[in-house]
Structure 1
Amino acid sequence: MAFKSESDANAYWKENISLVVKLMVVWFVVSFGCGILFVDQLNAIQLGGYKLGFWFAQQGSIYTFVVLIYIYTVKMAKLDRKYGVHED
């Protein structure tokens, strides 16, 4: 990876870390929040015959993680192109 300048490299990593932190917050809220903290409130809702709190604890956080990986790859591809460090 060759950046045009040191400031481009710093801006790239600042945006990269910002994206990672945002995605990790979403994952934490879904996995810990929905699966543990808010489980009693979510269990009042049924999803496919299962309580929603149970569903988030067992499957929802995994599905969310997979979606977050997809979002990360798409956003990073855009970021790479923005700074001219993408791979063809």
Structure 2
Amino acid sequence: MALPRAYDRYWRTNLRYLAILLTIWFAVSFGCGILLVDELNRLRIGGAKLGFWFAQQGSIYVFVVLIFVYVYLMNRLDRRYGVNE
């Protein structure tokens, strides 16, 4: 059974949003917390080295912000396809 075109476009867009947001989170958590830690440790935020801060708290803050961005994007997508609550 073939899926309707609108259903297919909806899920393709949803997966694109997920891929983009997870890529951002990976870049921040792995890139800033592990790969770039030595360069970021030259700067300080709130008394802590910036690389350490990203590894301990920064990636969590970014993840929470990305959750809100995902909610906003999905609400907009739901309205566009008429599946909102």
Q: TM-score, normalised by structure 2?
A: 0.95
Identity among equivalent pairs (%): 57
- The separation in 2 between residues aligned to 1:31 and 1:38, in whole angstroms, is 10
1:70: Cα distance to partner? 0.3
Q: Tell me the C-alpha RMSD between the 2 structures.
A: 0.9
Q: TM-score, normalised by structure 1?
A: 0.92
Equivalent position to 2:26, from 12, 25, 28: 28
1:28: Cα distance to partner? 0.1
Which residue of structure 2 aligns with residue 72 of structure 1?
Answer: 70
Displaced runs of 4+ in structure 1, greater than 3 A? none
The size of the alignment, in residue pairs, is 83
Gaps of 5+ in 2: none
Which residue of structure 2 aligns with residue 40 of structure 1?
Answer: 38
Query: Which protein, 1 or 2, shows the higher relative CO under an 8 Å CA cutoff with sep ≥ 6?
Result: 1
- The separation in 2 between residues aligned to 1:48 and 1:24, in whole angstroms, is 27
Gaps of 5+ in 1: none
